[in-house]
Structure 1
């Protein structure tokens, strides 16, 4: 008799809880659909100007002026891109892109070297005032970069680096944001590995290159991607330190194009130049997509 009561009670409990679960799952589905709808709307808002810019580069100047806003051109032409590639004097877009590739690649490689060694020093080496120095530099880095423009230019001018790639390669190598990421990631590596290596007679140099460096490769890739994109997209600083048209990176060159192609004279060529300028970073995103996702996860899960 008691067993029957227990069975009936358990049956009644499952019956009473089942509608609650169904209601909860229904709410989850609605919230998921709303999230998808929001993402679709945001994506459309972002994509429409990009698509319009790409299609505008395939329009004639007459169509740009007369047709107004039209997502797809009436007649597709490639004359704008032919004119862009043929202009190697006032707007050498391919030379600018090559300059940006060289600057961003060299800057990224040097950043990886600097932040890996610096991160090792702040986590594995013990010296007086280590943490105070780190957090002081971290606090200083919160000041806006525009504060350092005049002192930085004075230093670059004194070194004779104006109109040279070094004006963009060297500044920012020891960015505290990247050093912070490497330091926090490196703190998660057990120090017992270092102690075991020291027992075997390994020096700090050997420990860094053979033990620590292979383990921090994920965070170095993430910082390298951020550094490359940041160097490529830097706008204000190259406009200040470059006056030679042939030596400019692509961001400073695009500003110059407003005088060459702007004022509604050659809108198609202006948009075509902008499209060519984003192709390298677009290819980088496609080939390194998983590392960008890893960067988001790394920033979200960083330990204090």
Structure 2
């Protein structure tokens, strides 16, 4: 493959894979433990419910030894991080890793403060199955350094973090996903771009958190193929955003139609809309 060549994956390759993952999530009553931030709890829970999963917003350190062993996957989001919540995140992640359960890390604003960066680096040591962040977050984690921040928003494009994502994937042993105009997913030696979605999703708080929760559910049904499950989750979420945008008048109505579209997404719509590339401009895979 020539450097910089972009090839669209044949629909028969990724379409059936994504549909298989979505169908499996819908068929099973997956219990997903979500230690996530206050801002995202509602959308995260409703996203999981819309695809048939069962969200559990449980973050008490005292409950983790009894509860976490029974979940299908764990989702950890450091958005509203505090010294009270970090021990629970660490305990749940440590237990999930010990029990061989998939868990997903969302390192929100990882480079915004030393406390936040160190917390994310500690969590990385517990081997998350998938790390999903925006470009600035992935760059901060890869470089283990603080960075200028615009809050939780990225000051970089996803393409700026391709090499950092590949390095982070190789160092962590997990899948790394970078959200952006093109969502980048890599396992170090594999790299794809998901082109589904609409810009207005950026005007709805916690959509990044919601797609990370969806990744946790998809990985729960196919933990041995976390890369494919992550790609599928991004595609499904992006397609639901496109379908929702066709009926929306703005961010508020898009939020509503996004959830409805996740709930009603069928095989025909998924197969006709999925848009994935296996090579990216300037990056040979």
The normalised TM-score by structure 2 is 0.26
Task: Say which one has the larger Rg.
Answer: 1
Q: Which has the higher contact order (CA 8 A, sep 6+)?
A: 1
Greater helix percent: which structure?
Answer: 1
TM-score (norm. length: structure 1): 0.25
* Greater strand share, structure number: 2
